[in-house]
Amino acid sequence: MSNGKWIWHPGSFELYHSMLLHNRRTRTRTYKENTPSNRAGQTRSLFYHPMWRVDGPCHNARLEKVATISKEETIELVSNTEIATIFVDDMPYNVGTKIKLTPGTHKVSVEGFKAESFPAFYIKGDTFASDRTYKVVSHTEYNGVSAGYSELYTSPNDNVEKFKFSYKNVPIKNVEKINGGTLFDFGRETFGKITIKNDKIKEITLFLGESKEEALDTEYSQIVVNASLKNGRYVSSPVAFRYVFVKTEEPLDISAKLEYLPIKNRGAFKCENQLINTLWDVCAYTMLLNSREGFFDGIKRDRWIWSGDAYQSYFVNYYLGFDKEIVKRTIRALRGADPIKKHINTITDYTFFWLISIWEYYFYTGDKEFLEDVYVDIKAFLSFLKSRLAADGMFERKPDDWVFMDWSTFDSDGPICAEQIVLARAYEAVGKIAETLCDHDLAARAKKQSEYIVKEVNNRYWSDKKGAFVDSYTSGRENVTRHANILAILFGYTTKEREKRIIENVIYNKEITPITTPYFEFFELDSMCHIGDTRYMTDMLESYWGGMLRLGATTIWEEFDPNKKGIEHYEMYGGKYEKSLCHAWGASPIYLLGKYALGVRPTSPGYKTYEVRPNRMDFGSFEGKVPTPKGDIFVKISDTGCTVLSKIDGGILYFGGKAHKIPKNKRIFVKG
């Protein structure tokens, strides 16, 4: 028999695990007074309700395949539910029955129900072994859509309801007796399980901190675990920490295991500037910690999947691990279930970025099958968008919309410009997806709508007086922020003449409020590199990201303001230590260095064609690798020239003012 895969109703696996992860967040409360149920000084971790509707999986499923076989075949159904049946040519059989198929055409279908999770099926066989060739039947909106599956679950013994993680020991770097207790330093940020062994202690409180200050400030520690040692042993649930403080000087046998997905770093970057090398490694480690059921925002506070955060993680992934499965899981988890009532994460621009991300996934991977699988979801969101926009198809804030864009102050009188630009990009992406799938009618309509919005943005929001796009055209204040102007450059939505004025009046203008989040620095640096100003990026890597490293960061922070001092750096959202010190949206230097220093980028879907346009930057000599769907591309820049070694066809090297064809599996060197 051939190896199969576990299959299910598309999206059910992702929604089930999304449901679990979005309901794991807790907040810490220390009681100040005695009450009938609590005592003063007692600390508890309390459930923190998600900020949006959390959808569950489809609890029933029916999947079907029709095929012709030329020789006898035996099939057998394995399922995670007893309420399941396999049909062969409409004849029902129980789970575990070995069924012989004679040569000829057969229809094999499976159906099942599971209330507490979702039904999943594994069919042992050859031609009829379970895989994505099984199609959904009986669910109207998904009829004919391929079965869901994961490359992680390919054995009949796998448990699809338990997410597969790997574990490795994290050594303790330092132990300090302080404040009447013991502080354990594990050297860098970690997400995993803490184990304590002690036969004398019955209960112990662990104060965990991303920083030393947080762990020792027990009144405000963000994450606290109350541990009852049973038989002298306690193992925590997975938590985020670097420091662990316990209020005892009693010797403790304490250890930790990192919980992670073993995604190999295929990308690489090394140069003569050690700060940049350290930054690349710290960004890669930040991504490792936040790459789980999907791409997390951060490992301490939320541990949720946010669409805008994930959008940037996808790009970093394309230059680091190139793991397609985690991208697909994240996109499906963010989709949720019908009916669609609100924007993804309740944030308008996060819905737009979700649509854009699907096209970008296809452009980097060439995975047309995934486009086909989620096309029904794309069209569902288009219908939802139409109901939420103004009559002319432009963005218009509804009463329950959260317009985020960034942690910055905008003139929000009326619809802000940056939202219109991202909406236009979303329609552009949908048009390209529809054209790829030969839905020419939708492709034309989406393209037309995108072009209309871009035209109106340039008509309504451009200020000749400011030489920039303003936030609002209705307020009359002509307030300028960086965001819309950055996006207009990045997406090519304005003229070259206006681009030049934006760069002078906004990007290089220190009077315009600077970006303080790595989130929007991603867009700013991408746009500047896009127009050829790579020095702007290298300066920011040194000053902004380097500023975090110089303060001892072992992972990239959610936000950084160099004007803050001491523990001010840990404050956010009104909380003393609420800022995430391990935030995936800060790892963009990996993407930026791969795309603009090494200069590697696809020019057609799936790297069928690609280009290498290296930039010398100011790192001295440097080298690195960029992963692609079918092999890696190695690039080296030295004083004498550029070397490229590629495992794939279709590349052009632009160096020394000339274009050079890149042969497959043959090193090429160009002087310059």
- Of residues 619 and 663, more confidence is placed in 663
CA angle 40, 46, 52 (to 5 degrees): 150
The answer, yes or no, to whether residue 580 has pLDDT greater than 90, is yes
Q: Rounded mean pLDDT of 261-266?
A: 97
Task: Give the H or E element holding residue 225.
Answer: strand 223-228
CB 433 within 8 A of CB 469: no
Cα 440 from Cα 445, distance rounded (Å): 9
Q: Is 384 exposed, middle or buried (0-12, 13-18, 19+ CB in 10 A)?
A: middle
Q: Rounded mean pLDDT of 66-81?
A: 97
Same domain, 439 and 479: yes
- 121, two tokens: 């099926």
Percent of the chain having pLDDT more than 90?
A: 89
Q: Rounded mean pLDDT of 263-292?
A: 98
Same domain, 65 and 31: yes
Same domain, 358 and 476: yes
Task: Give the H or E element holding residue 75.
Answer: strand 73-79
Instruction: Give the CATH number of the domain where residue 183 resides.
Output: 2.60.120.260
Q: What is the pLDDT of residue 1?
A: 63
How many CB atoms sit inside 10 A of residue 257's CB?
18
Q: What is the pLDDT of residue 37?
A: 65
Q: What is the pLDDT of residue 101?
A: 97
Q: Considering the entire predicted model, what is its pTM?
A: 0.96
The answer, yes or no, to whether residue 28 has pLDDT greater than 80, is no
The answer, yes or no, to whether residue 43 has pLDDT greater than 70, is no
The answer, yes or no, to whether residue 31 has pLDDT greater than 70, is no
Percent of the chain having pLDDT more than 70?
A: 97
In 3-state terms, what secondary structure has residue 96?
Answer: coil
The DSSP bridge partners found for residue 135 are: 64, 146
Per-residue confidence at 228, pLDDT binned at 50, 70, 90?
Answer: confident
Final residue of a structural domain among 130, 159, 188: 159
Same domain, 35 and 61: yes
Cα 632 from Cα 576, distance rounded (Å): 44
Same domain, 146 and 172: no
3-state DSSP of 570-625: HCECCECCCCCCCEHHHCCHHHHHHHHHCCEEECCHHHCCEEECCCCCCCCCEEEE
Same domain, 121 and 187: no
Q: Rounded mean pLDDT of 486-514?
A: 97
Final residue of a structural domain among 581, 597, 613: 597
Same domain, 531 and 392: no
Give the chain's end-to-end CA distance (angstroms, integer): 56
CA angle 146, 355, 560 (to 5 degrees): 125
Same domain, 464 and 576: no
3-state DSSP of 354-391: HHHHHHHHHHHHCCHHHHHHHHHHHHHHHHHHHHHCCC
Q: What is the pLDDT of residue 240?
A: 95
The answer, yes or no, to whether residue 3 has pLDDT greater than 80, is no
CA-to-CA dists, residue 486 to 177, 407, 453, 469, 493, angstroms: 50, 15, 17, 10, 10
Domain count across the chain = 5
pLDDT tens for 387-444 read 999 998 999 998 889 999 999 999 999 899 999 999 999 999 999 999 999 999 999 9
> Average per-residue pLDDT in the chain?
95
Same domain, 268 and 353: no
Same domain, 384 and 442: yes
CA pseudo-torsion sign 554, 556, 559, 561: positive
**Side-chain-facing half-sphere of 590: CA atoms under 13 Å:** 33
Write out the residue range of the structural domain in which residue 246 sits.
165-260
Q: What is the pLDDT of residue 597?
A: 98
Q: Rounded mean pLDDT of 183-209?
A: 93
The reply to whether omega before 562 is within 30° of 0 (cis) is no
Instruction: Give the CATH number of the domain where residue 413 resides.
Output: 1.50.10.10
Amino acid identity of residue 540, one-letter, is M
**Side-chain-facing half-sphere of 257: CA atoms under 13 Å:** 14
Same domain, 377 and 486: yes
- 135, two tokens: 């199609």
**Side-chain-facing half-sphere of 240: CA atoms under 13 Å:** 28
pLDDT tens for 285-307 read 999 999 999 999 999 999 999 99
Same domain, 358 and 445: yes
Q: What is the pLDDT of residue 303?
A: 95
Q: What is the pLDDT of residue 41?
A: 64
Q: What is the pLDDT of residue 44?
A: 66
Chain length of the chain: 672
pLDDT tens for 114-150 read 999 999 999 999 999 999 999 999 877 899 999 999 9
Per-residue confidence at 40, pLDDT binned at 50, 70, 90?
Answer: low
Final residue of a structural domain among 201, 227, 260: 260
- 263, two tokens: 């995604």
Task: Give the H or E element holding residue 662.
Answer: strand 658-662
